[in-house]
Amino acid sequence: MSEAINREDLYLFQTGKARQAYLTFGCHYQKQTKNHRFTVWAPNAKSVSVVGDFNFWNPLAHPMKGDKDGIYTIEIDGLKKGDLYKYYVEGYDGKCRYKSDPFAFYSECRPATASKVWDFDSFKWSDKRFINQRKKKQALDQPMSIYEMHLGTWKMPEDEEREFYNYREIADMLIPYLTKMGYTHVELMPVTEYPFDLSWGYQVTGYYGVTARYGTPEDFNYMINELHKAGISVILDWVPAHFPRDEHGLAMFDGTHIYDHEDPRKGSQPDWGTLLFNYGKPEVQSFLISSAMFFADVYHIDGIRIDAVSAMLYLDFGKQEGEFVPNEDGTNINYEAVDFLRNLNEALRNTYDGFLTIAEESTAYPKVTSDVDDPEGLGFSYKWNMGYMHDSLYYMELDPLYRKDNHGAIVFSMDYAYSENYILPYSHDEVVHGKGSMINKMYGAYEEKFASLRALYGFTYAHPGKKLLFMGGEFAQFVEWRDKEQLDWFLINDYEMHNSFHEYVAKLNELYKTEPALYELDQDPRGFEWRLQRDADHSVLAFVRKGKTHRGKKQEQILCVCNFTPVEWDKYEIPLEKKSKLTKILDSSELDFGGDGDVSEEKVRTKRVKVPGEKGKASYQNAALISLKPLSVVYYKIEEVEEKPKKPAKKIAADKSSETKAASSKAPAKAASSKAPAKAETKAASSKAPVKAETKKTVKSEPAAKKETVQSQSKPKTTGSQSAKPEEKSSKTESKTQINKKKPTTKETVVKEKSEIKKKVAEKPKKDSEQGIK
């Protein structure tokens, strides 16, 4: 890497501005001198020397030269790749310690702890196209389905002499699997070097080296390169919150607390037995930020998930009264950590296009996700929605009988869904330490558990937010994750229910990636609309996900309906805004997915249904009548049907007024013959009565658009000029009025009416009568 130490680089390191400190510190081959240069920061050490196989671990063989700032350096010749070394540090406290290189690129496999001389010149990358497309691929409006995994226990060799597969072998097995299952991203639990297996990598001693458990740095490069060629992004769990107390690590590196706090109330985490980084030291910020930049630069990582962000943000996290020191103003926010996180996110996201930073943060700290130039935000790309995870699992663990009393647990997430850019995680933390596997968390007997988990996953994939699932959850492994054994892959081959569930998750991923309505507007309230939110008594939810609007195209919409009870609801009314045609694209009750095959309707048309209103006044709305199967979820694509525009109320009133005037002006013409009125009445009565009866029947069973069609078809056809049309309308209106007001007809009334008509006709001038007849 770097040929010589640049004083400007040292200045950046000392002021917290270094972003590539790994080019200066650590062990680097110098092409000009053909030596290896070692550089380390130990400001309070009395002396430092390099020891290793090459000098028989003799502290006197290669003493380092330190400057006034405590930066020690030396060049040694004759070294080769893979040679072991450590720093022998005589500390300020008078104690001598053998320390691993904090900037080592590779180390021995535990329990050994020595660093190794290493370089990266031999690997050739071929993922340029992927890197160039990463910004678009990882934009907020793109799908993100993450497979979280632990490399050591995903699959393990059958050969007892081998403990783990290496990075290359894992890649060759993992990529076809992820491709088949439809995942877009893979998240690796920490691969930075760590000494204790049961920490799962969350207690790091080597912030610049991948763990030797699974092979060499070149092997890791191969895995990332091949994943990129397959179109799969890689997210790395990264731990800048705390570090272990191991003798060879960062703790008391030069006999003082250069990486942590001297005051244990600030510098220790009692729950974990670890030490907390001191973000107030600029060198610590340079060390950590450069570590994250190193993995983006050298290993082409596409994102990092930062573990335990809450432990960084709060001075009293996991501590009792007297175990922490509050700020001078009495608050508990770690402002130095806030500054560090902002600097970290700015460096990564501004340097690497499309790079993701993800926070595991479990409190309501505001604006965790924001633009990097937002002075009030932390600058993360995404935040894990821990509240959604806990609430949804709590709800599904309940006896369905009691879910109606806890309905808020399953709908509350939408109250804050747009406050951050969220990922919905079912992570490793939820399937360990006696919490039970995902399938075992579900209430009920064997088949009910599977149906419940299918319903929960279906709800999650339709819910706004990106998706994350820990390995084993995709085929409903019954046992918790075991950190010393591989997953129970035999379940897929030997048990139909697990195999079917496996296919169900693959189908969810396929739909999620191919239906923009499920992801395009995750961060926009316009992409979600409740249709049934408060139906607690039936534990039914319904909502619509919407895609972006495009000129000349209808907006894509998907209806999701969930029934979280073991009861079937037949022809359940799902209200929709407009008249629509629905086509089913997912049903969790399908036989192929492990259901009983009793499924909801394939196609549904909305109907107009009566809805009780205030003060006894009813109204009508569009609704899809869907049979909801027990413990199920269904997706329907919505195609809205255009309805014929209704005539405005003012226009109708104007028409009625003109009809009335026309009727009064034409009345003499109708009275020209003594027999004409009776015939008109009889004809109107015989033609109008059936229409009224038919219209009443339509209200009960037909949508509004159909009522309009029936009425228009029942009206008599008109002929002749337009001037004749008002006369016909007037005649119909007058006849209808007469029918409505007319009392039961008797012989006496008919005779009386005819006599009155004859009298009126006799009084009219003959000329007018002739004109009326014409």
Work out the number of other CB atoms within 10 angstroms of the CB of residue 768: 12
Q: Please confirm, yes or no, whether 307 is among the known catalytic residues.
A: yes
Measured CA to CA, the distance from residue 316 to residue 597 in angstroms comes to 53
Residue 414 DSSP one-character state: G
Question: Coil, helix or strand for 129?
Answer: helix
Give residues with Cβ within 8 angstroms of 354, minimum separation 6: 134, 135, 136, 137, 138, 139, 302
Question: Coil, helix or strand for 442?
Answer: coil
Work out whether strand 274-276 and strand 268-269 pair parallel, antiparallel, or are unpaired.
Answer: antiparallel
Measured CA to CA, the distance from residue 564 to residue 410 in angstroms comes to 10
Residue with the two structure tokens 């340079």: 286
Question: Coil, helix or strand for 387?
Answer: helix
Give residues with Cβ within 8 angstroms of 725, minimum separation 6: 718
Alpha-carbon distance values, 498 to 300, 444, 471, 472 (Å): 35, 17, 14, 11
Of 156, 249, 150, 260, residue with least CA distance to 198: 150
Strands (E), 612-667: 619-628, 632-640
Measured CA to CA, the distance from residue 622 to residue 305 in angstroms comes to 45
CB 577 within 8 Å of CB 641: no
Q: Exactly one of 237, 260, 283, 360 is catalytic; which is it? A: 360
Question: How many residues are recorded in the chain?
Answer: 774
Residue 165 burial class via C-beta count within 10 angstroms: exposed 0-12, middle 13-18, buried 19 and up: buried
Helix (H) or strand (E) holding 75: strand 71-77
Strands (E), 158-301: 185-188, 192-193, 206-210, 233-238, 242-243, 268-269, 274-276
For the beta sheet containing 607-611, the strands, ordered from the edge strand earlier in sequence to the opposite edge, are 569-576, 619-628, 607-611
**Which residue(s) pair with 356 in the sheet?**
303
Strands (E), 564-685: 569-576, 580-587, 603-605, 607-611, 619-628, 632-640
For the beta sheet containing 580-587, the strands, ordered from the edge strand earlier in sequence to the opposite edge, are 528-532, 540-546, 557-563, 632-640, 580-587, 603-605
The phi and psi torsions of 232 (rounded to 5 degrees) equal -110, 125
Q: Please confirm, yes or no, whether 246 is among the known catalytic residues.
A: no
Q: What is the CA 198 to chain-centroid distance, rounded?
A: 30
Q: Exactly one of 307, 420, 520, 659 is catalytic; which is it? A: 307
Q: Which residues are catalytic?
A: 307, 360
